[in-house]
C-alpha cells in the first residue's frame, strides 16, 4: 500500500444469507482513502455502502460474511487480524459515526458515562480522569453546559445534539480515520450544516481522514476531495471530486448526477437514471450490475468488466472504457 493512503480496500467481497440464499452483495470492491482527505462513498440505498463500512470495522451482522479481499489500514490487513487486535483499533484508530444516534447510543447509560468508558477502555484512565475528559469533549463539540448535560441520557437530547454526542464518541481518542455513515439523516437543513461544519472542524484539527457515506450529492460536492460511486455492490467509478462531477464516465454516475439540478446547465447529461436499484437476489454473477438499466448497454456487458483508468486518479468500471484498461 502506498504511504499516501491511510485505508486501501482491495477486491472486497461480502456474502449475505437472505431468503434461504447466499448472495454476494458486495463484489470485488476497491477504493482508497488518502491521508488527510475526505472520500465520499455514494450510491442509492441498498448499493452496499453501509455494509462496506461495517466490513472495514469488522462489525458485519451474523448473516453476512467477508469472503474475499483485503482491508489495509496503515499497511495492516484488517480482514485477517484477530478480534482482540480489532478491539484495540476500533475507536482508537478508526471510529464509526453511525447513521442514527438514537439506535447507536446506549439508552441506559448517561452520555458522559458512555464517552468515559471509551477513555477507560483504550487508555486505562481512572474514572475521574475519564469523566473529566468526557465533559471536555462534549464541550468541544458544542454541547452547552457540558458538565450538567453529561449526566443526561440520550433521550434527553434533540436529534442534532445527540448527533454531536455521537461525534464526541468518535473523536474522543483522536482516531486517524473517521467513517461517517449518513451522519445527518433526519436532521433539518440548519442542523445538518452545523453538524457537517463541526465534523470538518474536528477532522482538520486532528488531522484525520474521513470516509463519508451518503446518497446526498450536494453534501459530497461541498465536503469531499474524492468520490467512490457504488451500484449493486460494485464500485463503478472512483476519482477526484472535480473529475467525477465535471466529467463522469460511467453511465450510472452520469445518470446519478443528472438527477441533481444545476443552475449553470439546462440538463447536466443526456443520460437519465431509469428503474430502481437492483434486488440483491437478482444481481448477475458476472458482468456489469447496471446492465438492465443502462442506456448505453453493449452486447458483451454480461462479461467480466475491466477497471479502466480514464484520467489522473480517475477510474471507471465499464466496458465502454476497456480500451483504456
The domain tally of the chain equals 1
Output the average pLDDT for the chain: 88
In a domain, 306, yes or no: yes
Average pLDDT of the residues in 22-41: 93
Average pLDDT of the residues in 133-148: 93
Confidence of residue 177 (pLDDT cuts 50, 70, 90): very high
pLDDT at 271: 53
pLDDT digits over 199-234, tens only? 899 899 889 999 999 988 888 999 999 999 999 999
What DSSP string describes 86-117?
Answer: HHHHBTTTEEEE-S-HHHHS-TTS-HHHHHHH
Say if CB 217 and CB 42 are below 8 A apart. Answer: yes
pLDDT at 281: 73
In a domain, 191, yes or no: yes
pLDDT at 1: 43
Q: What percent of the chain has pLDDT over 90?
A: 56
In a domain, 102, yes or no: no
Which residues, 6 or more positions from 85, have their beta carbon under 8 angstroms from its beta carbon? none
pLDDT at 240: 96
Residue (of 87, 83, 69) closest to 12 by Cα position? 69
In a domain, 245, yes or no: yes
Q: Residue 260 half-sphere exposure, CB side, CA atoms within 13 Å? A: 15
**Res. 266: pLDDT tops 70:** no
Distance CA 68, CA 80 (A): 10
Helices and strands per DSSP (H, E), number in the chain: 11, 12
Average pLDDT of the residues in 164-185: 90
Residue (of 170, 185, 210) closest to 38 by Cα position? 210
Q: What is the pTM of this model?
A: 0.90
Confidence of residue 268 (pLDDT cuts 50, 70, 90): very low
| DSSP class of 278 | P
Say if CB 283 and CB 200 are below 8 A apart. Answer: no
pLDDT digits over 269-290, tens only? 455 566 677 777 777 778 888 8
Pairing of strands 21-34, 209-214: unpaired
Confidence of residue 306 (pLDDT cuts 50, 70, 90): confident
Say if CB 209 and CB 6 are below 8 A apart. Answer: yes
Q: Determine the structural domain holding residue 53 and report its residue range.
A: 5-93+175-324
In a domain, 73, yes or no: yes
In a domain, 53, yes or no: yes
Residue 177 φ then ψ, to 5°: -130, 125
**Res. 2: pLDDT tops 70:** no
In a domain, 165, yes or no: no
In a domain, 162, yes or no: no
Q: CATH number of the domain that 206 lies in? A: 3.40.50.300
pLDDT at 262: 58
Task: Tell me the H-state helices in 125-237.
Answer: 127-140, 146-149, 159-171, 189-206, 217-223
Average pLDDT of the residues in 237-249: 94
Amino acid at each position: 500500500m502506498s504511504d499516501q493512503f491511510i485505508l486501501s480496500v482491495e477486491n472486497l467481497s461480502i456474502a449475505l444469507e437472505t431468503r434461504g440464499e447466499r448472495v454476494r452483495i458486495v463484489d470485488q470492491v476497491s477504493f482508497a482513502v488518502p491521508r488527510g482527505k475526505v472520500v465520499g462513498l455514494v450510491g442509492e440505498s441498498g448499493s452496499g455502502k453501509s455494509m462496506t463500512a461495517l466490513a472495514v470495522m469488522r462489525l458485519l451482522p451474523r448473516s453476512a460474511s467477508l469472503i474475499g479481499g483485503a482491508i489495509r489500514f496503515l499497511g495492516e490487513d484488517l480482514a485477517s487480524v484477530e478480534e482482540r487486535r480489532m478491539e484495540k483499533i476500533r475507536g482508537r484508530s478508526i471510529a464509526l459515526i453511525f447513521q442514527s444516534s438514537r439506535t447507536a447510543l446506549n439508552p441506559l447509560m448517561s452520555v458522559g458515562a458512555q464517552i468515559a468508558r471509551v477513555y477507560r477502555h483504550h487508555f486505562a484512565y481512572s474514572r475521574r480522569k475519564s469523566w473529566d475528559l468526557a465533559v471536555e469533549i462534549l464541550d468541544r463539540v458544542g454541547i452547552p453546559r457540558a458538565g450538567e448535560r453529561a449526566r443526561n441520557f440520550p433521550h434527553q437530547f434533540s436529534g442534532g445534539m445527540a448527533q454531536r454526542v455521537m461525534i464526541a464518541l468518535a473523536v474522543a481518542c483522536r482516531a486517524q480515520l473517521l467513517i461517517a455513515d449518513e451522519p445527518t439523516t433526519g436532521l433539518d437543513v440548519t442542523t445538518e450544516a452545523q453538524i457537517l461544519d463541526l465534523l470538518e472542524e474536528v477532522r482538520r484539527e486532528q488531522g484525520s481522514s474521513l470516509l463519508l457515506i451518503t446518497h446526498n450529492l450536494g453534501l459530497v460536492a461541498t465536503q469531499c476531495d474524492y468520490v467512490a460511486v457504488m451500484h449493486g455492490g460494485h464500485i463503478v467509478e472512483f476519482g477526484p471530486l472535480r473529475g467525477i462531477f465535471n466529467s463522469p464516465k460511467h453511465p450510472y454516475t452520469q445518470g446519478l448526477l443528472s438527477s441533481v439540478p444545476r443552475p449553470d446547465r439546462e440538463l447536466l447529461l443526456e443520460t437519465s437514471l431509469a428503474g430502481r436499484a437492483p434486488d440483491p437476489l437478482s444481481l448477475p454473477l458476472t458482468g456489469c450490475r447496471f446492465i438492465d438499466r443502462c442506456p448505453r448497454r453493449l452486447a458483451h456487458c454480461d462479461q467480466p468488466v475491466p477497471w479502466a483508468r480514464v484520467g489522473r486518479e480517475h477510474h471507471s468500471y465499464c466496458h465502454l472504457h476497456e480500451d483504456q484498461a
